[in-house]
């Protein structure tokens, strides 16, 4: 049994779909935890995991995700949660007006505590910020992010389709391979 710690139900839905598909039991520990303010998703994810292992004391994982927009020098990056809750998708679209480069990437870093040590798994997807929000699936920035090679936003995809191309899907695949290789 693996515990996934997040306050975000959409993350749990996407991840549990992949675990269920591979027949690996997963439980949701719904919990909001303080995050370090740092420039990089890997550091934020590791720091949260190190603090939570003192409290949870059993194998678990968490993940930290950021949206990195090239022409905004990586903004909102580690501040993605704050920005989503303040200026939101409309604010991002406004910042990209006047013909700015719309290239962007999502990065997810999973930190998995196996009961002894912490292992990290990273996934990313490159794409572009759309001109208008589209779609009603997913969450957060999904309506304005189009993965490379598609003309759909992540919000226009089912959870299965999103998992097949997404930052989170890639990071979770790596974690699942690690667990199935006998490391859980
Ligand atoms: P935790 O409890 O797991 O930390 P959170 O929602 O605060 O949940 P993050 O800090 O990792 O998670 O995510 C930052 C924000 O980025 C989040 O609030 C969403 O708005 C957005 N986000 C994360 N993953 C996303 C995804 O797959 N698609 C679109 N937006 C996403």
- What pTM was estimated for this model as a whole? 0.96
- Per-residue buried b or exposed e for 102-137, using 16+ beta carbons within 10 Å of the residue's own CB: bebbbbbbbbbbeeeeeebbbbbbebbbbeebbbeb
> According to the model, what pLDDT value does residue 138 have?
95
| CATH code assigned at 112 | 3.90.950.10
Q: Which atom of ligand 1 is nearest to the CA of 145?
A: 29
Average pLDDT, the chain: 96
- Catalytic residue ranges: 64
**Ligand 1 mean position, distance from CA 81 (Å):** 6
Question: Is the Cβ–Cβ distance between 105 and 40 less than 8 Å?
Answer: no
| Residue ranges for the chain with pLDDT beneath 50 | none
**Ligand 1 mean position, distance from CA 12 (Å):** 11
H/E element, 119: strand 118-129
> According to the model, what pLDDT value does residue 184 have?
61
Q: How many structural domains are present in the chain?
A: 1
Q: Which residues line ligand 1 (CB under 6 A)?
A: 6-8, 11, 32, 64-65, 80-81, 84, 138-142, 154, 168
> According to the model, what pLDDT value does residue 63 have?
98
Which residue shows structure tokens 């667990």? 179
Where in the sequence is the domain holding 31, given as residue range(s)? Answer: 2-183
């Amino acid at each position: 049994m693996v515990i996934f710690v997040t306050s975000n139900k959409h993350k749990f839905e996407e991840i549990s779909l992949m675990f269920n598909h591979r027949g690996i039991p997963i439980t949701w520990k719904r919990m909001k935890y303080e995050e370090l303010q740092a420039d990089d998703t890997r550091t934020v994810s590791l720091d949260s995991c190190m603090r939570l292992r003192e409290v949870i004391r059993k194998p678990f994982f968490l993940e930290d995700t950021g949206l990195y927009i090239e022409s905004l020098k990586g903004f909102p990056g580690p501040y993605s949660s704050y920005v989503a809750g303040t200026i939101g998708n409309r604010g991002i679209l406004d910042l990209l007006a006047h013909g700015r480069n719309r290239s962007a990437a999502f990065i997810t870093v999973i930190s998995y505590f196996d009961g002894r040590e912490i292992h990290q798994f990273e996934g990313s997807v490159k794409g572009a910020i759309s001109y208008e929000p589209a779609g009603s699936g997913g969450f957060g920035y999904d309506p304005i992010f189009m993965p490379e090679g598609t003309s759909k936003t992540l919000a226009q995809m089912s959870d299965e389709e999103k998992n097949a191309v997404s930052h989170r899907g890639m990071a979770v695949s790596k974690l699942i391979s690690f667990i199935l290789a006998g490391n859980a």
